[in-house]
Amino acid sequence: MDSLRSEPELLHRLASELPKDIQFTVYYLSTPQTPAPSLHIEVHGQKPDKTLCSKHFLVIAINQSSNEDCQERKEILVYAVEVLIYLTTHNITFFISKADSTGYLDKLKLAKQKPSPIRTITTTFLQFLIDTHQKVDVKSTISLFARAQDQYLFPGSVENPGKHVLNDRGLIRWWCRVLNPILESSQADINSFWESVRGYIIIPGLDNRESLSYTPSRTKNLWTVGHPLLEISGIKGIASPRNLIPRFPDDPKARFLDELDEEIVKSGNSNGQWKNIKTLDDFWEMMAFRQECSAGRLVGFIWIVLSPNQEPIQIEPSYINSKVITSIDNSELASRNENHPELLEYHTLHDKSQSRSITCDEQVCSRSSSPIKMTHKTNSNTSSKPLKRPLSNKKRILTGKIIARKPRFKIYNIPNQSKNSFLKHRGDNQKKNCGAGQIIIDDADYHRIMELLLNLDFSRLERAISSSSRWIEEARCAGRNNLMTEFWGQTIVGTKIVQVSTDSSSSGTATLNPNLIRKKGVKTSVY
């Protein structure tokens, strides 16, 4: 039976936003949600948040021949973006880890348009992830660190003349424009799932007015110069900056936090607090002097916080009793499990013990309320079946040869299923519950594929085509090992009609009237 797939929805969204009649190939792989360390250091006396993490990697390719004489067209990677999704009971964090292009998109010779296809793909992919992972009463947060570099994912691509490398200021503006449509669409839709949507930006070394100038001018009211760390941490009570700042991989904040924690160990401080940083304002002030933030280039910390609508349950006072309260608790727990199927296993043991206690209480109440009925039932049972002898407490002595039992895979009490069928069942459930890639692989294969990409060569067109073919084949092999039976890669054709500017001021050659040309220093005579 075919499971519900999320990739067709992503393909439809991308096709509707890309230029008309232009063909692209989409490669989308992800990892299942697995337990991960909490993003925040737990407050003393509290347990850390139970966190699940999944990695999502989207790659866009085009068909291109190695030279003009060759008729055979091969695929070449043009863009890739990696997003890490952290799921807790109170917040879903979308951390944009890396994004990079090879510069070979110009081989299509597309007309200049705004927004560019790469910017459109990034916005559409992020909006897709948010829509497929949103939960009731759970905030969603997009977090990223904008730092300009020549290349992130495609080695040697900086040598390609067609690659447009943005400087530090241009990159911060570009990311604000990528995220701004998410703010606008959520704010404009009356029936939106979100109650409030807000953008936050911090550029160390700049004041509020200068930082706000990097956001789109038409929606400056949706942006705030600051951070939402207090809002998205989910920590109750008083907490120090050490407990409020998340720790993402390859993030300058995390590296600074590690150095501050080393000072705690060296000083022997028992309270677990930093010595020189007492507030979040102190932390951001110190971040401005870090080498990554003060090396002559600007960097930006950007967040988008989406708060869902809250609809509390209203109950009339006359109907409040023990039965109603019990039903409300059960419905609330059921809705929580439905919204978080990944965390259902944490409540299973509690549910079983609670159901047993409720069953025993109901039996006691029924016996006390209707003794005649219970007596009649007991008499009928005794007349039809003989009484069994009580079992003795004597332990059975085991004798004979000891035969070792082979280990078995735990498949959640699914009878008569092998390991392969269980893995396929887990992958199908993953695609049903939330947005997932065409290939779902484990963390080891994902890390191997990413390391392979970082060791390829995209400096020239021939090398880029060869490197693209190798990476696509390695990803296909990883998918086959994880029970992928369909063709790897999905082709889409753009359907959006792009308006090409025909203004004479922007195209064509400007001409001057020869009668208006006058040489310097020469006076005209009047007749």
All residues at 6 or more sequence positions from 441 whose CB lies less than 8 Å from its CB, including other chains: 29, 30, 31, 449, 478, 479, 481, 482
pTM of the model: 0.72
CA torsion 367-369-375-376 (nearest 10°) is -120
Q: pLDDT confidence of 41, banded at 50, 70, 90?
A: confident
pLDDT at 272: 66
On the question of pLDDT at 343 being above 60, the answer is no
With b for 16 or more beta-carbon neighbours within 10 A and e for fewer, the 201-227 pattern comes to: bbbbebeeeebbebbbeeeeebbbbbb
Q: Which residues pair with 494 in a beta bridge?
A: none
On the question of pLDDT at 45 being above 80, the answer is no
Q: Does 226 or 398 have the greater pLDDT score?
A: 226
pLDDT at 367: 42
pLDDT digits (tens, 9 = 90+) for 163-198: 989 999 999 999 999 999 999 887 766 567 788 899
pLDDT at 98: 93
Tokens representing 510 are 């400007």
Question: In what helix (H) or strand (E) does residue 257 lie, and over which residues does it extend?
Answer: helix 252-267
In 3D, which of 353, 300, 24, 306 has the Cα closest to residue 144? 300
Tell me how far apart the alpha carbons of residues 491 and 474 are, in angstroms, rounded to a whole number. Answer: 19
pLDDT at 370: 41
Highest mean pLDDT among 137-151, 244-258, 334-348: 137-151
By DSSP bridging, strand 23-30 and strand 439-440 are parallel
pLDDT at 392: 58
pLDDT at 388: 54
pLDDT at 33: 93
Q: pLDDT confidence of 114, banded at 50, 70, 90?
A: confident
By DSSP bridging, strand 91-101 and strand 139-146 are parallel
The helix/strand/coil state of 118 is helix
In 3D, which of 203, 124, 214, 140 has the Cα closest to residue 177? 214
Q: pLDDT confidence of 484, banded at 50, 70, 90?
A: low
Q: pLDDT confidence of 92, banded at 50, 70, 90?
A: very high
Average pLDDT for 73-86: 94
pLDDT at 66: 64
pLDDT at 173: 95
On the question of pLDDT at 71 being above 80, the answer is no
Residues classed as catalytic: 251
Q: Please state, as a whole number, how many other Cβ atoms lie within 10 Å of the Cβ of residue 438.
A: 23
Q: Does 288 or 489 have the greater pLDDT score?
A: 489
Amino acid at 332: E
Average pLDDT for 236-240: 71
Among the listed ranges 138-152, 257-271, 348-362, 428-442, which one has the minimum average pLDDT value? 348-362
Percent of the chain with pLDDT strictly greater than 90: 36
Q: pLDDT confidence of 241, banded at 50, 70, 90?
A: confident
Q: Please state, as a whole number, how many other Cβ atoms lie within 10 Å of the Cβ of residue 491.
A: 13
For the chain, helix, strand, coil in percent to 5 are: 40, 15, 45
Q: Name the one residue in this structure whose structure tokens are 């809705």.
A: 335
Tell me how far apart the alpha carbons of residues 30 and 54 are, in angstroms, rounded to a whole number. Answer: 7
State the average pLDDT for the chain: 75
Highest mean pLDDT among 15-29, 357-371, 424-438: 15-29
On the question of pLDDT at 102 being above 90, the answer is yes
pLDDT at 526: 36
Secondary structure (H, E, C), 448-485: HHHHHHCCCCCCCHHHHHHHHHHHHHHHHHHHHHCCCC
Among the listed ranges 13-27, 162-176, 381-395, 425-439, which one has the minimum average pLDDT value? 381-395
Among the listed ranges 117-131, 139-153, 336-350, which one has the minimum average pLDDT value? 336-350
Asked whether the beta carbons of 57 and 30 are under 8 A apart, the reply is: yes
pLDDT at 342: 52
pLDDT at 507: 40
All residues at 6 or more sequence positions from 312 whose CB lies less than 8 Å from its CB, including other chains: none
